[in-house]
Structure 1
Amino acid sequence: MNFDFPQVDLPCPILAWSDVTEDILNLYKQSCRLKAGIFAVCREGKMTATINLIDYEIKPNDLITLLPGSIIQFRERTEKVCLCFIGFSEESLDRINLIQALSGCYSKIVECPIVELNENTADYLKDYINLLTKVTCNEELELTPEMTELSLKSILLGVEQIYKKYPWNGHSITRKEEICRELVSLVTKHYLNERRAQFYANQLGISLQHLSTTVKQVTGKNVLDIIAYVVIMDAKSKLKSTNMTIQEIAYSLNFPSASFFGKYFKRYVNMSPQEYRNS
C-alpha cells in the first residue's frame, strides 16, 4: 500500500538546535515524510515516536537518526521532553552519496533508527550540537556549502562508528525483507558495472521473477528502481560537489555517453544533469 505524506525539508542548508521541546515536537504530531536528514539526541524525558510506521520509545541519551525519506510522527509523552538536533536539507544531502558515506551501516540505520548511547558518547554529541547551534543561529556567520558538507561528513562519520560498535542483533525479519536488504547491499557494491536485474537475481540465487515480486511486495518499487536510486544518489553528489563535467560524470558512472547518462538521469529526476547542477 502506498501512503502520501506531507514532504518536510529544512528552510536552510544546515540547522542545529540544542533545546527542542514540546512546542517544536508538536509540529510533527501528524505523520510526514522527511526530505531532510536529522540527527538528534534525547536530553531528557521519554516519548513515543513512529518512524517508518514502527513505534519506538525515545529516552535520555538515545541517538535518533532520520535519513531522508523517513516517515515520522511524534506521539505521546509521559513527562517533559527535550532533544538537541542537527539537520541538513535535501540540497545539502544531495552533495554526498549517503550510502557510500555510511559504508555498511546504511541498512542498519534504516532498520534501527534509534540506538542507546553511553553517557560519554552522548555528551560528546551534545557538545558538538551545542557548538553548531551557536554557529548556525548566529546571523553574522554564514556557512559555505563546503563547511556545511564538512559538518555533515563529520556527523556521518560519528554515526557510522557508533553503529559499527553497537551490539547488533537486529530484529526478526522475514525472508522477503532479508532478500531486499541483501539486494541493496549487492547494488551498493556492483552498481557501477551491473545494472541488470538478472545479475542480482543470480547473485542471490533466486529467479528474476521471485526477486521482482519480492521487491515489489516489500518496497513498492521494482528492482531497476532500487538500482537507479543508488546510481542517481552518486550522480547527484558528483553534480553538486565536484567540478567534473557531465561527460566525466557519465564515464565515472560507467555510462557509454553523456547523452545516455542524461536520458537516464532525467527519467528519474525529471530534469537534465545540467539543470539539476544549476538548481
Structure 2
Amino acid sequence: MDTSSLSQSEILRLNNDFAEWNNSYLTVIDSVEKVNAEFKLPLKNHTVLLIVCIKGSLEVGYDMSSVELVPRSIMVLLPGHLIRKYHPSDDFEGFMISSSIANLANMLPLMSRILVCSLHYKENPTIQLDEEEFLNQVLFRDLLKHKLARSKDHFDLLVINKLCEGIFCETLNNYSKRIHGAINAQCSRGDALFYKFIVEIENSFKQERSVSYYADKLCVSPKHLSAVVKDVSGRTAGEWIDYYVVNEIKRLLTSTDLSIQEISCKLHFVNQSFFGKYFKSHVGMSPRDFRNKTLLPGF
C-alpha cells in the first residue's frame, strides 16, 4: 500500500446525506443516488466496485444487462464492465466503495476468493444477504460514516482504509459461502484447475516458485498448466507465482521491521544477492529503496 497517498485524501461534503472520500486507490460514496449527478455515464469501470442496498431499490445497467438491487442485496462489479445507468428509487439508501485491484491485492489470503467469485458470478454479480450478513454490512457502514465525519489525521485515514478492507473481506466471505462446493460442478475444467492452482500457490509460494512444482501437485504437465492458466486468466502460471511472491515481499518490507536478509531467508531465496535481483527485476528498484520510498512520513 502506498501510504503516502493518504495525506492527499479529500472529504467532499455535497449535502447532509452524501459524502465522498477518495485517494489514489480507494473511493467511498455514501448515497449512490447522487452518482448520476457527479459522474458522466456511460462509464467504463476500472476498479472493483461494491454497492450495498440498505433501503428502497436501485437499478444498475451494465454492459447489456440490468439488475435491481433491493434491501439486503449487494453487487460487485469487476474491472472491464461498462456502467450505463444508476436509477435509484426515491427512498433509496445505500453506499458504494470502489477499490483498485492493486489495493485489494494487498489482502493476499483473500485473492483466491476474489478469483473464484469473479469466475462464478461474471454473469450475475448480485447476491441477497441473510439478516446477520446484512447487519454486519450496516455496522461497517455506520463505523465508516462516523470516521468520515471526523477531522482526518494519519491514524483516522488508516482506520478508514482498514474499515473499507473489512467491508470487502465481509463481502467476499458472503460470496464464497454461496459457491462452496459448487466450483467443480458449475464452472469449466479450466476454471476449476485455475482455482486449484491459485489455492496451491497460496499454500506454498513462500517455499516454491517453480511451475513444475505446482503442476506435479495438480497432476498435470507444466505445459498444460501454463496453457490453461494463460487461457483463463490472461497471465502465465509463472507470472501468478511471481505476483504472489512480489506482493509478499512488499508487505514484509512495509509492515515489518525484518531485515532484507531475514526476508530473503523467510521466502527461501538462495541468498540475499539473488533476492535483490529478483525483486528489482519485477519492481524496478532494490528492496531497500522500495522500503525507504514507502515509509510513512513522520514515523
TM-score normalised according to structure 2 size: 0.71
Q: Which residue of 1 aligns with 2:144?
A: 132
Structure 2 distance, partners of 1:63, 1:46, is 12
Residue 200 of structure 2, aligned match among 186, 198, 205: 186
- Structure 1 window deviating more from structure 2 (218-227 vs 129-138): it is 129-138
1:12 positional shift:
5.4
Q: Which residue of 2 aligns with 1:71?
A: 80
Structure 2 distance, partners of 1:147, 1:86, is 15
Does 2:208 correspond to 1:208? no
Q: Which residue of 2 aligns with 1:57?
A: 67
Structure 2 distance, partners of 1:226, 1:28, is 34
1:13 positional shift:
6.5
Structure 2 distance, partners of 1:180, 1:25, is 39
Q: Could you list the structure 1 runs, at least 4 aligned residues long, displaced by more than 6 angstroms after superposition.
A: none
Q: Based on CA coordinates, which of the two structures has the bigger radius of gyration?
A: 2
Residue 110 of structure 1, aligned match among 118, 124, 134: 118
Does 2:167 correspond to 1:158? no
Q: Which residue of 1 aligns with 2:51?
A: 40
Note closer, same or farther for the CA distance 1:151–1:78 as it changes in structure 2 (3 Å cut): closer
Paired amino acid for 1:244: L
1:188 positional shift:
0.9
Q: Which residue of 2 aligns with 1:5?
A: none
RMSD (Å) for aligned C-alpha atoms: 3.3
Q: Which residue of 2 aligns with 1:19?
A: 31
1:107 positional shift:
3.2
**Structure 1: stretches of 5+ with no match in the other structure:** 1-9
Structure 2 distance, partners of 1:46, 1:55, is 11
2:113–2:172 contact (8 Å) kept in structure 1: yes
Paired amino acid for 1:125: Q
Note closer, same or farther for the CA distance 1:275–1:39 as it changes in structure 2 (3 Å cut): farther
1:62–1:117 contact (8 Å) kept in structure 2: yes
Structure 1 distance, partners of 2:171, 2:133, is 11
1:40–1:83 contact (8 Å) kept in structure 2: yes
Q: Which residue of 2 aligns with 1:84?
A: 95
1:214 positional shift:
1.8
TM-score normalised according to structure 1 size: 0.76
Note closer, same or farther for the CA distance 1:233–1:17 as it changes in structure 2 (3 Å cut): same
Identity across the alignment (%): 22
Structure 2 distance, partners of 1:132, 1:47, is 24
Structure 1 distance, partners of 2:45, 2:94, is 19
